[in-house]
A and B are shown apart, each in its own frame.
Chain A
Amino acid sequence: MTRADAINRAAKPVVFVACLGPLAWIAWAAIASGLDPSGPLGANPIEYINRYLGDWAIRFLLGALAITPLRGITGWAAVMRFRRMIGLYAFFYVCLHLSSYIGLDQFFDWREIWNDIIKRNYITFGMVTFVLLAPLAATSTNAMVKRLGGKRWVNLHKLVYGAGILACFHFYMMRKGVQLEPIIYAGICAVLLGYRVVKHLKKKAQLNPKAGAA
């Protein structure tokens, strides 16, 4: 076993458990204080839980999008070993966020939920984000990568860019007025995607210098 393998083996479980931290905290807070308005979840615990899970969903999503640029900029190749895990955690928190919206906020009022999806743009965007991420989670196993073939798999997983953009819109549109927090997230997303655009353009120019000049 090489040194890198050893680190990999030791680090993966640590990161895996750390990523469960946000869920553990909210679960503890909800069980310990429930609807108590003086508790950590405040006067409106349902809203708190829903937004908290949404916050972590977008953080993990941007975190997953940050890994490739991080490798590119720092040359730290080992970080790539965590990309799948972070991406799956993003989907995991998206699922929790969606579940809390359906089960806590709307309490399985399917008519209301459907109205939200078709009438309210920010909910539509949120739902599309979920729909874009679901096939990526489903095809995340090594077996699926093989079955699809590398190129097709990579192309499919480009859907994550759309999910990132939509998640940022979802967050910005949900807030009232011009608020700083969603703008910061959107800015980070723009930088992460911008990095890829720049890299893509550079690569294109290198492969086809004449086209660049013309």
Chain B
Amino acid sequence: MLIKSKKASDVRSSEITSPSVYLDRRRFLQSAAMVGAGAAFGTIAGPALAATEKTRVKLAGVNKTKWTQESLGEKLTDYGSVTRYNNFYEFGTGKTDPADNSNKFMPRPWNLAVDGAVEKPGVYDLEDFLKPHQLEERVYRFRCVEAWSMVIPWVGIPLADVIKRMNPAGNAKYVAFETLKDAKRMPGQRRAVLDWPYREGLRMDEAMNPLSFLVVGLYGEVLPNQNGAPLRLMVPWKYGFKSIKSIVKMTFQEKEPPTSWNMASAREYGFYSNVNPTVNHPRWSQARERRIGDFLKRPTKMFNGYEEEVGQMYAGMDLRKNY
């Protein structure tokens, strides 16, 4: 073959340009030093760590994508709301608990385990895991199952690229994700609000969908702890709880994985949990949502407005049964 246009495009820009610096070096060394200090001096390092975490760090080398605020045509939710109105029960059940209780949480160093039916299982250091990828920014709608929503500029990498690199086996039909379980670092886990660790999962075609995104930042900055640092999922056509935070494990498997909210209340939270204004939560209507910052509610869109991108994956499925 002389014309290798397809092959040529397979070479990702990240392989040509120098890999983006995920975390600036100084900050990384700082955190590393702090971890050392923490180990040496025990709790003395606590306040210092908290101070470090409050420092907002800009991410370098973030590519623009077609998912911009302009293309979405909706106003971004302000940074303060995005980082002070969170559901992250690992740090408490109140909306400001995650921001208030996570400032001592150290998201570095961080290991990510990849296992199951996959060619390259192993425990990866997060920096190494991210290195081959090019960071990009995507502005997505975010719709919580509690009927509120935001518009957030995330920074991350396409989940599909990661999966291709890990190369799952043919019998891998699902990807399961797990959040860190460590009640010392995540004080909300001292109570059995949910059956920890938090678990989520996607069908392989959902995981491979171009919209599926692994997030390491927001607003061009390193992901704040309360938003799921250092690594979280973002599947914008599903209710927010599907977008699991602080991921430590990815498992490729044949069976549909159990998921936390489904385990807690199967009647209310299905495995799919696609945003669907026609299927109500048993305790409230999903027809409308309150965009944070707005007074009046707005109608909720099918698949959160991403029907074009994801609708075909559910063709022929009864979405009332597979809620």
Contacts and interface: CB of A to CB of B under 8 A. Distances in A.
A43 B295 contact: no
Contacts of B297: 107
A119 B85 contact: no
A179 B94 CA distance: 10
Contact of B282 (A44, A120, A179): A120
B290 interface: yes
B93 interface: yes
A178 B85 contact: no
B194 A177 contact: yes
A88 to B, nearest CB: 30
Contacts of A198: none
Contacts of A115: 285
B64 interface: no
Interface residues of A, number: 25
Contacts of B191: 178, 180
Interface in A18-60: 35, 37-38, 42-44, 46-47
Q: What's the interface size class on B, roughly?
A: 20 to 34
A122 interface: yes
Interface stretch (B10-18, B76-84, B157-165, B227-235): B76-84
A121 interface: yes
A173 B293 contact: no
A120 B283 contact: yes
A42 B84 contact: yes
A42 B290 CA distance: 14
A174 interface: yes
B167 interface: no
B148 A175 contact: no
B283 A35 contact: no
Given A35-B295, A116-B284, A178-B264, 9 more contacts: A37-B81, A38-B80, A43-B95, A43-B293, A120-B283, A174-B283, A176-B93, A178-B191, A178-B193
Interface of B: 78, 80-81, 84-85, 89, 93, 95-96, 146, 148, 191-194, 261, 264, 280, 282-285, 287-288, 290, 292-293, 295-297
